[in-house]
Amino acid sequence: MRATRTLALPTIYFQGELDGVNTPRASEKIAEKFTGPFERIGLPGVGHFPTREAPAEVAARLVKHFKPAP
């Protein structure tokens, strides 16, 4: 089985700036793995669980991401 080198799909990546498990530095180059539209969103004051720690901001960004273009 071959590993996938890149993914060609729209992606939104949430990164808690205080994440001690997957640190922001460790994911700095993650965009290189995507050839489709990619957005990395750093969330200040948020750790490893953005959906628990900043649910309103995550939800607002997801709504914006999935809203059809005019």
Domain boundaries, the chain: 19-66
Distance CA 1, CA 22 (A): 26
Distance CA 54, CA 52 (A): 6
pLDDT (0 to 100) of residue 39: 94
Distance CA 65, CA 40 (A): 12
Give the mean pLDDT per block of 10 residues along the chain (70 residues): 85 96 93 94 97 97 86
List CB contacts of 20: < 8 A, sequence separation 6 or more.
47, 48
